[in-house]
């Protein structure tokens, strides 16, 4: 039996998502207002890392956000020009990613989605390596062990299980609660509001709570799961879900880089000391499309976008620095020049990315290559004749090498390779048009 809409069964949607909650509600942690003024909070405060000057840290945040936005806008333009198959935009979420990313220590480990370009920047990943994935020439060419930043996860929510398991492994390695700031380790799982409805995410909450795992679940609530608004996904604010699993949750202004840093710093410290998981909901807004294949004008109001433009994460830091005389025009001009240089690096580097060898698809299948796989790539392997009456035959290695070399040359020329036996018993099929590598990769992402 459905509850009476006027009864006290559960919270009213107007209470949760109505006008009083439009700016995040009364429990929102905010340390820098949209007008660029510092604010106080009873539980959280902005404290730079040991030995770092506060002003220089904030100036660094500004630089990180400007460069992150340039990565995003440049990559969007590259996709529009056909250089990328697809791109997942982060416009408007720079503060959530930079603030949380800069709170990490070198030994902490990150499990991202496919949109954490700002976190990748903070972890030292060359953004050109991100473009290789979206161009379709590789599956992510950065070394996760070098940066402690995992591969992008396309499967929605799957990385939260990876993070919970990794955090449990950190416990078993004795890298939690030792009191050594260079050893104690925390894990961060990034995901969006849409992923919070996935079973994998909720299962990761169960495991993390049961084992008191040192993991921070960082949810960027940009209020749209592609075209589905947040009010269709939850009857309560997302951060309150954590209480049902037995660990704390907090909602932070996702457009306030100082607050995102402070809240993430506290959650990471809590994980490192052995106090268990924390849910952080960064309340923000997706200013762009879900990806470059999406048209958000079909399902949301332009008035909402204009409202959130006034909360721009970069503009509020710029106003704060200028109003308080903490940065001169030379500083801002220098950051702009650096952004232009980064844009040129991405344009030139993207066009120069080499197409992969067809056989490179086998390179990362196993941590240690098996004999069977090695034989398939370099040795004798079965080939199929056009006749159905004959079974598989084996060609000598030398002939296969010549055949592979010829196949690679034809692939490079865009001719494709016609499978033997296709015309047996019927007319020859016309060859299908071969899409560029990055376009074929885009079809896979969709």
- 52-65 tens-digit pLDDT: 999 999 999 999 99
Q: Which among 301, 321, 319 has a CA at the least distance from the CA of 311?
A: 319
| Per-residue pLDDT at 385 | 40
Q: Which of 100-104, 387-391, 435-439 has the highest mean pLDDT?
A: 100-104
Q: Cα 421 to the chain's mean position, in Å?
A: 43
What's the first-to-final CA gap in the chain, in angstroms? 38
Structure tokens given for 260 = 């995102």
What's the pLDDT band for 85 if we cut at 50, 70, 90? very high
* b/e per residue 26-44 (b: at least 16 CB within 10 A): eebbbbbebebeeeeeeeb
Give percent of the chain with pLDDT exceeding 70: 79
| Per-residue pLDDT at 417 | 38
| Per-residue pLDDT at 2 | 43
What's the pLDDT band for 26 if we cut at 50, 70, 90? confident
The per-residue pLDDT of the chain, averaged, comes to 85
| Per-residue pLDDT at 17 | 55
Give percent of the chain with pLDDT exceeding 90: 68
Alpha carbons within 13 angstroms on the beta-carbon side of residue 224 total: 23
| Per-residue pLDDT at 327 | 98
| Per-residue pLDDT at 423 | 39
For 187-236, the pLDDT digits (tens) are: 999 999 999 999 999 999 999 999 999 999 999 999 999 898 888 888 89
Least trusted range by pLDDT, from 106-110, 205-209, 381-385: 381-385
Please indicate whether residue 276 or residue 405 has the higher confidence score (pLDDT).
Answer: 276
Mean pLDDT of 338-367: 91
What's the pLDDT band for 14 if we cut at 50, 70, 90? low
| Res. 319: pLDDT tops 90 | yes
| Per-residue pLDDT at 368 | 85
| Res. 22: pLDDT tops 80 | no
| Per-residue pLDDT at 170 | 98
Structure tokens given for 218 = 């960082």
CA of 227: how far to CAs of 239, 291, 323, 393, in Å? Answer: 21, 11, 38, 52
| Per-residue pLDDT at 263 | 98
| Res. 1: pLDDT tops 70 | no
Contact 318, 63 (CB under 8 A): no
Mean pLDDT of 176-187: 97
| Res. 133: pLDDT tops 90 | yes
| Res. 306: pLDDT tops 70 | yes
Q: What is the CATH number of domain 22-352?
A: 3.40.50.970
What's the pLDDT band for 358 if we cut at 50, 70, 90? confident
Least trusted range by pLDDT, from 58-72, 153-167, 308-322, 361-375: 361-375
Each domain of the chain, given as residue ranges in start order, spans 22-352, 358-416+434-445
pTM for this entry: 0.80
**How far, in Å, CA of 215 to CA of 268, rounded?**
8
Task: Determine phi and psi for 396, rounding to 5 degrees.
Answer: -60, 155
Task: Look at the chain and count its residues.
Answer: 446
Please indicate whether residue 378 or residue 321 has the higher confidence score (pLDDT).
Answer: 321
For 234-245, the pLDDT digits (tens) are: 889 999 999 999
| Res. 42: pLDDT tops 50 | yes
Q: Which residue has the tokens 């290695």?
A: 397
| Per-residue pLDDT at 372 | 85
What's the pLDDT band for 47 if we cut at 50, 70, 90? very high
Least trusted range by pLDDT, from 104-113, 147-156, 410-419: 410-419
| Res. 431: pLDDT tops 70 | no
What's the pLDDT band for 110 if we cut at 50, 70, 90? very high
Please indicate whether residue 383 or residue 317 has the higher confidence score (pLDDT).
Answer: 317
- The catalytic site residues sit at 286, 290, 299
Mean pLDDT of 413-433: 41
Cβ neighbours for 377, distance < 8 A, ≥ 6 positions apart: 359, 362
| Per-residue pLDDT at 362 | 81
What's the pLDDT band for 430 if we cut at 50, 70, 90? very low
Going by their DSSP bridges, the two strands 215-221 and 187-192 should be labelled as parallel
Q: Which among 181, 179, 239, 172 has a CA at the least distance from the CA of 212?
A: 172
| Per-residue pLDDT at 278 | 98
Residue 283, classed as helix, strand or coil, is strand
């Amino acid at each position: 039996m459905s509850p009476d809409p006027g009864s006290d069964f559960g919270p009213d949607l107007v209470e949760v998502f109505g006008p009083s909650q439009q700016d995040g509600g009364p429990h929102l942690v905010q340390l820098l207002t949209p007008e660029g003024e510092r604010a106080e909070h009873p539980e959280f405060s902005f404290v730079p890392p040991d030995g770092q000057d506060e002003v220089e840290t904030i100036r660094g945040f500004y630089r990180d956000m400007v460069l992150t936005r340039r990565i995003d806008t440049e990559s969007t333009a590259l996709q529009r020009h056909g250089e990328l198959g697809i791109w997942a935009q982060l416009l408007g979420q720079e503060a959530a990613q930079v603030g949380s990313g800069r709170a990490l220590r070198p030994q902490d480990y990150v499990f991202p989605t496919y949109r954490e370009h700002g976190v990748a920047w903070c972890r030292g990943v060359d953004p050109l390596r991100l473009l290789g994935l979206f161009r379709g020439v590789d599956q992510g060419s950065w070394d996760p062990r070098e940066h402690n930043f995992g591969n992008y996860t396309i499967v929605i929510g799957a990385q939260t299980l990876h993070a919970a398991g990794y955090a449990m492994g950190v416990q078993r390695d004795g890298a939690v609660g030792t009191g050594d700031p260079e050893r104690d380790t925390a894990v961060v799982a990034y995901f969006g509001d849409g992923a919070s409805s996935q079973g994998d995410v909720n299962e990761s909450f169960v495991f993390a709570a049961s084992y008191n795992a040192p993991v921070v679940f960082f949810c960027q609530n940009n209020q749209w799961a592609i075209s589905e608004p947040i009010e269709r996904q939850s009857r309560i604010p997302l951060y309150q879900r954590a209480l049902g699993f037995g660990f704390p949750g907090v909602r932070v202004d996702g457009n306030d880089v100082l607050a995102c840093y402070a809240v993430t710093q506290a959650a990471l410290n809590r994980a490192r000391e052995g106090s268990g998981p924390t849910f952080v909901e960064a309340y923000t807004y997706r200013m762009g499309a879900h990806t470059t294949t999406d048209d958000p004008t079909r399902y949301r109001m332009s008035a909402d976008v204009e409202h959130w433009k006034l909360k721009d994460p970069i503009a509020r830091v710029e106003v704060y620095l200028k109003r308080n005389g903490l940065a001169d025009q030379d500083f801002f001009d220098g950051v702009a020049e650096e952004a232009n240089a980064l844009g040129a690096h991405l344009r030139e580097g993207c066009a120069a990315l080499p197409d992969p060898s067809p056989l490179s698809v086998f390179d990362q299948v196993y941590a240690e290559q098996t004999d069977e796989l090695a034989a398939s790539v370099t040795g004798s392997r079965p080939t199929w004749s056009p006749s159905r009456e004959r079974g598989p035959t084996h060609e000598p290695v030398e002939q296969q090498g010549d055949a592979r070399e010829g196949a690679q040359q034809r692939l490079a020329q865009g001719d494709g390779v016609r499978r033997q036996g296709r015309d047996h018993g019927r007319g020859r099929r016309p060859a299908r048009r071969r899409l560029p590598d990055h376009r074929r990769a885009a079809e896979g992402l969709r």
